[in-house]
Each structure stands twice: as structure tokens, then as C-alpha cells.
Structure 1
Amino acid sequence: MFRRTFWFTAGAAAGVWATTKVNRKLRQLTPENLAAQAADKARHKAVETGQRLRDFALDVRTSMNQREAELGEALGLHTPVDAPPPARALPPQRSRAALEHSKPSHPQHPKQTYNRNEDH
């Protein structure tokens, strides 16, 4: 009698365990959960890719600055890489009186219009 009770209880426990596992798996396979899992994976991949791109850009920038310093040293240039460019000299300003004096008051040759129909 104890054997039957033991096996009956063991079978019932196995059935409950299996039913619970199947129901959990079915809940994981619903469209909403699948979409959420895919979004989480995509978000994780995007963050990881962004970090890799940022690290790559920093490596490129560091190498570029190092190479520019090496070239500057080799060419005898001693300006820092991040120094602003030298200021350009502005042309001298002319006064209004000087500008007025340089303009002719009347043109020497009046402007003539060209009419191509006059030649015929």
C-alpha cells in the first residue's frame, strides 16, 4: 500500500513540475515577451557597438595627435597641436575723406549703351 501511495505522490509531483515548466515556457514564447527580449538584445548590442565606436574614435584621435607631434618635431615646428592659428593681418583702414578724394566727381567717359539693331 505504501508503494502505491509513494508512486502516486511521485507521479503527481512530476506532473505538477512538468505543467509548471511548460506554462513558464509558453509565457516566454508569447509575442509580447519575444518582442521585449528582442528589444533588450538590440538595445544591448547598440550600446556595445556605441562603446566600441567611441573607443575607436578616441584611439584614432590619440594616434593622430601623436603623429602630428612626431611630424612637427621632425619638421622643426614647435607649435602645440591644439594652438589656435596665428591672427591674419587686416588691411589698413582708409578714412572716409581719403575714399571721397579718390573718387572722381564725374566720369571721364559717359557710359554708352549698345543697341545691336543700330548696326543694320
Structure 2
Amino acid sequence: MRTRKEPAKTYRSEVAAAVHEMVEGFHSAGLADKQTMREFDAACLSPAPAMTPEEIRAIRERERVSQPVFARYLNVSKNLVSDWERGVKRPGGPALRLLAIVRRNGLRAIA
């Protein structure tokens, strides 16, 4: 049976990492509910960093894929990838987080 490796979490500080890990333990033991975990995620985890159009293009080119193929991996349209790379639009939310994962670990991390 194949298990999926969770992406590494990036914390605001070492203290935030320690507190978050402790609350995750509480959650696993049934001592903290999902709402509490969501609040600690928001407080402790750092947001995905913004990316320039050049950085997005560099990630795609490093992975040696076309815009349409890159778009399929990210589950977005090829036009959206083009807009990101031209600076017409900026990725946000889940797309930005996926791009950060691909930048750090390559496309294999989300394949």
C-alpha cells in the first residue's frame, strides 16, 4: 500500500512550530477539535509567498513542461498559466501553495 507524503509545513517561527506540533498531538488524542486546529494552522503556518511571473515561468521551464501540461498538473487552464507568466493575473490561495510545493519539490510532489 502506497502512502502519500505530506508536504513540509513552514512555520512563522520555531515557537509557532512547537506550539502547532503540541496542538496537533492534542488533536490526534481527541483533546482538540477541527476548529481549534484550523485556528492554530492560521496562526502558526506561514502563508505561501507571492511569486513573480518570471519565477513561475522559471519553475515551469525547470520542470521542462509546456504551459498546457503545467496547467494540467495544477488543475487550471492553460490560459491562466499564460496570464500568470505574463503578469496579467497573479496566483493566489491553493494555486500559490501548489506552485510553492512544485518550486520546492518538483512536479513529482503533486503528480
> Which of 1 and 2 has higher RCO (CA within 8 Å, sep 6+)?
2
Bucket of the pairwise TM-score, normalised by the shorter protein: under 0.3
> TM (normalized to structure 2)?
0.20
Choose 1 or 2 for highest CA Rg.
1
